Chain A
């Protein structure tokens, strides 16, 4: 492993989308991929509005251009230019359409939003899945409500995981909790947005099954959880350097895999053989060709 300091700025243009070979990129520089933006209802609505406004502005500009051109042509006594036609958006009839997020209408989700009040940042439905984004300081209350409320009754934490968003503003990770209600046959996703260094409350206090999943998040993404009973790595060895699922982590690691135990063995054998041969007075040396 080289001890070259990690530079803070990106050097020259990389030769590919990911510089994953640290031997050809000795300064361990990794080019961050553009990540998919965090899906959410508000951002989606804002995006759609911006799109419509851009279309409208384009159309208005076309009209204005046409007016000036017409006036110019009249003044010069030429034929009038052709009137512009408003472009109609092509209908996307493939079945690969991105399911758009919609407003929360499901009674379960609405009940949860009512119960949590202003601790909810956002709640929406997408492709039939319920998502509720909670303020990161109040995740424990949200989980407790989901588990204990008679109308929610989410008994099971099916999964807990996180994603890294290196390009995002104001947060670095999203931690998601997938809850399942066996009694009510419902699923729900809770989400918090966590900046670098923030320690969310551990879900083990409500769902004991979160123990290993939170250890995995710590191992892979480097988010520590407060009040976790055993916050140590679970997959990588204890002495591992870095967190492998962060986007800036090189695919081949930082040289951990380039180990070599065989040199050591050769030395050991050599010593043992010399000792043994010496003790027994045997000459094991093969006569060399002169």
Chain B
């Protein structure tokens, strides 16, 4: 009665876009880098441990090297002395890569309006998700991470190049 019956082929096949499959696999297996800089790192560790269990989001494998990581969670105060190192580590991460600025320190300098603190890690590397709080609770980190997953799911494979070529003209 007007309702289309799926054909035999559609019953055994799923059709989707390559881009969507890529995004889905990327969003559900984001490997973060262990990158604690200050007290926020404690909360990140709590998020990774058994009670909150970051692994539920496919994000629990903290890598100790940037070359195996997709996500840099900048958890803590970014000092002037640390800045070149952060930049170096970010450049060593393979594309595609994402950055979460966790806590007020990494988003805007936090309580440290002083000579040694970079006022936000976005002065050094591009940031995808900002999580406010001092420190943010693990739930906030999860929420920020889910926002990042949304962002990854809605991204396109050509996104990186588009930005550049729009600038170029």
Q: Does A51 contact B (CB under 8 A)?
A: no
A interface, size bucket: 20 to 34
- B interface residues with partner A (beta carbon < 8 Å): 80-81, 83, 87, 91, 113-119, 122-126, 158, 160-162, 164-168
Least CB distance, A81 to chain B, in whole angstroms: 60
Query: Within the assembled complex, what's the spacing in Å between the Cα atoms of A128 and B61?
Result: 55
Please give me the residue from chain B that is nearest to A271 by CB atom: B164
Q: Is the CB of B116 within 8 A of A261?
A: no
Least CB distance, A79 to chain B, in whole angstroms: 66
Q: Is the CB of B125 within 8 A of A257?
A: no
Residue in A252, A259, A284 whose beta carbon sits within 8 Å of that of B123 in the complex: A259
Q: Is the CB of B81 within 8 A of A284?
A: no
Query: Within the assembled complex, what's the spacing in Å between the Cα atoms of A262 and B116?
Result: 19
Q: Is the CB of B118 within 8 A of A259?
A: yes
Residue in A250, A251, A262 whose beta carbon sits within 8 Å of that of B126 in the complex: A262
Q: Is the CB of A257 within 8 A of B117?
A: yes
Residue with the greatest number of chain A CB neighbours at <10 A, chosen from B91, B115, B123, B125 = B115
Q: Is the CB of B80 within 8 A of A259?
A: yes
Query: Within the assembled complex, what's the spacing in Å between the Cα atoms of A262 and B126?
Result: 7
Please give me the residue from chain A that is nearest to B84 by CB atom: A261
Least CB distance, A91 to chain B, in whole angstroms: 41
Q: Is the CB of B161 within 8 A of A257?
A: no
Query: Within the assembled complex, what's the spacing in Å between the Cα atoms of A45 and B113?
Result: 41
Q: 10 new A-B pairs (CB below 8 Å) besides A259-B80, A262-B125, A277-B161?
A: A236-B81, A251-B114, A253-B114, A256-B115, A257-B119, A260-B123, A262-B126, A269-B164, A270-B168, A274-B164
Beyond A270-B167, A273-B161, whether A249 also contacts B124 by CB under 8 A is no
Residue with the greatest number of chain B CB neighbours at <10 A, chosen from A236, A258, A261, A286 = A261
Least CB distance, A12 to chain B, in whole angstroms: 25
Q: Does A31 contact B (CB under 8 A)?
A: no
